[in-house]
Amino acid sequence: MSTAPAFADDVPVRCAAHATATALDADAAVVLDLNSQTYYELNEAGYVLWAYLQEHEQATAPELAEALRAHANAKSNDADPALSQATARTHTDTFLQSMRAVQLIVPAS
């Protein structure tokens, strides 16, 4: 059974104003919720998505998934893509659901 996406495809999202992130290395980061003073660890996929939102200020789920896929495929040494569009979207939806649940990703409007 699949779960519904955290946001509709046409809804731009952004990082919450009360959240700040710090890179741990090239593949991970932590996000601090300044309201609750809680840290959340981001894996490489989460870090790529968070960084994309920081750079672009807002994005839709399909835009985020494409950014994640492009990042993974740029790192791939194989002729085959490292990350399919479907897998990138699954990772993106999981990230958005997790971050929305703790109010660190919010609708841009």
- Would you call 3 helix, strand, or coil by DSSP? coil
Question: What letters, b where the CB count within 10 A reaches 16 and e where it falls short, cover 13-50?
Answer: bbbbeebebeeeeeeebebbbeeeeeebebebbbbbbb
pLDDT band of residue 109 (cuts 50, 70, 90) is: confident
Quick check: 78 pLDDT over 80?
Answer: no
What's the average model confidence in pLDDT over 42-70?
97
Quick check: 81 pLDDT over 80?
Answer: no
